[in-house]
Amino acid sequence: MEVGNQSGVSEFILLGLSNEPEQQRLLFFLFLLMYLITGLGNLLIMLATSTDSRLHTPMYFFLSNLSLVDICFTSTTIPKMLNNHITKNRTIPYSGCLAQVFFVIWFGGIDSVLLTAMAYDRYVAICAPLHYGTIMTPKVCAFLVLLSWSWAFINALTHTVLLTRLSFCGHNEIPHFFCDLSSILKLACSDTFINDWIVNTVGALTVFLPFIGILISYTHIFMTVLKISSVSGKQKVFSTCGSHLTVVCLFYGTIIGVYFSPTSTHITHQDTAAAVMSTVVAPMLNPFIYSLRNKDMKGALRMLITRKPGLTP
């Protein structure tokens, strides 16, 4: 059976965030700035965790992988959006649109599982500190990262392959700044029952199972915190987990709100704003959230930035 575009549509039109010239210029420079900050911030996190031996721990190993994924995540959507503003050409080829769908779902899925791995790491560190070294071994950490990449890959490939079975009857305008899966499904003139069912089952599992894992981890953490008598001890635990909880709420709140709420309640502007938060703002904020209140990370970044060329660490 030949799998391919089942209609005459050879390209889609990305309507972007605004049609006003002044707003478009402002959005261009704003998104360019956020993209540069995202790339630089996450790159510094990766370099710091790889060069400073104090950061060679499971928590920073997961954080380094999260930074890599965030760079890839934003690079999937923002460069195309910036190019559209420069060239005034909002079209994207059919194959390019499918590729963008695949990578957005893939990297988003990796983020989901990595956040769960980080929650599990905090659970072991706080609830079973004496066994931390024997539980969070390098092999276990590598397995969790491999699981995140492979599971998300299968999920993304499933959605993308199913898209190739749909027909599009001429209407090819996507009210978004990238090829969003839900927006494309609304353009199809063929039956999308299977696609919708996969989104609400396989896709939901990729989001909700990790989310449940995070809830279980933090339930045990909070129960352990309640047993701590000293106020300073409780504050230390909350300080350790606060950054991760902030990112979790931001990531899962926007994803669940957009992709798993009833379609009839969707408002385009709200969907777009939520997508900007999850695909652009969150990856930009992650380096700041995870590093500004962390003494070890700030020390590693300071050493990395002030290191003189030619000197070995």
Each residue of 111-159: pLDDT tens digit? 999 999 999 999 999 999 899 999 999 999 999 999 999 999 999 999 9
Q: Is the pTM of this model over 0.85?
A: yes
Domains contained in the chain, CATH given? 11-306 (1.20.1070.10)
Helices (H), the chain: 21-51, 58-87, 94-127, 132-135, 138-163, 181-187, 193-198, 204-226, 231-259, 268-276, 282-291, 295-306
Q: Return all residues near 112 (Cβ < 8 A) that are at least 6 apart.
A: 148, 152, 206, 207, 210, 211, 251, 252, 255
From the number of C-beta atoms within 10 Å of its C-beta (0-12, 13-18, 19+), residue 313 rates as: exposed
Q: Which one has a higher pLDDT value, 184 or 264?
A: 184
Task: Dihedral sign for Cα 125, 127, 130, 135, please.
Answer: negative
pLDDT, averaged across the chain: 84
Residue 258's pLDDT is: 60
Greatest mean pLDDT among 50-54, 142-146, 188-192, 271-275: 142-146
| 195, 166 contact by CB (below 8 A) | yes
Q: How far apart are CA 146 and CA 137, in angstroms?
A: 14
Helix (H, G, I), strand (E, B) or coil at 13: strand
